[in-house]
Structure 1
Amino acid sequence: MTARLEPAAPPYPDKVQAAFDRMPRSWMPPFRLFTTLARHPELFERFIRGAPSYLPGTRLSIRQREVLLHRVTARCGCEYEWGMRVHYFAGEAGLTAAQVSATVHGNADSACWEANDAVLIRLADELHDSCDISDELWPVLRAAFGDEAILELLLLAGYYRTVGYLANGLRMPLEPDVSRPFPAA
Structure 2
Amino acid sequence: MTSEVARIAPGDRHDLGLLNSVITKVGARYMKARSANLFTTMGRNRKLFRVWLRFGSAMMPRGTLPRRDTELMILRVAYLRSCTYEFTHHERIGRSIGLTDDDIADITHGPTATRWTDRERTILRAVDSIHQTRDISDELWSELAGYLSESDLIEVCLLITHYEMLATFISTLRIQDDTFMTTGRK
Sort the TM-score into its range (normalised by shorter chain): 0.7 to 0.9
Match of 2:184?
Answer: none
Q: Identify if the C-alpha distance between structure 1 residues 24 and 36 changes in structure 2 by more than 3 Å, giving closer, same or farther.
A: closer
CA distance in 1, matches of 2:18, 2:176: 26
| Bigger helix share | 2
Shift, 1:175, TM fit = 1.1
Match of 1:53?
Answer: 59
| Structure 1 spans left out of the alignment, 5+ residues | 179-185
Match of 1:98?
Answer: 102
State which of 2, 10, 24 in structure 2 corresponds to 1:20. Answer: 24
Amino acid at match of 1:54: M
CA distance in 1, matches of 2:77, 2:157: 11
RMSD of aligned residue pairs (Cα, Å): 2.1
Match of 1:71?
Answer: 76
| Structure 2 spans left out of the alignment, 5+ residues | 182-186
How many residues are aligned here? 175
Match of 1:147?
Answer: 150
Shift, 1:21, TM fit = 6.3
> Residues 73 and 124 of structure 2 are in contact (CA less than 8 Å); yes or no, is this contact kept in structure 1?
yes
Shift, 1:54, TM fit = 3.2
> Residues 66 and 90 of structure 1 are in contact (CA less than 8 Å); yes or no, is this contact kept in structure 2?
no
Question: Does residue 1:175 correspond to 2:186, yes or no?
Answer: no
Q: Report SS of the residue matched to 1:83.
A: helix
Q: Report SS of the residue matched to 1:44.
A: helix
CA distance in 2, matches of 1:96, 1:29: 25
Q: Identify if the C-alpha distance between structure 1 residues 40 and 24 changes in structure 2 by more than 3 Å, giving closer, same or farther.
A: closer
Query: What TM-score do you get using the length of structure 1 for normalisation?
Result: 0.84
State which of 132, 137, 141 in structure 1 corresponds to 2:140. Answer: 137
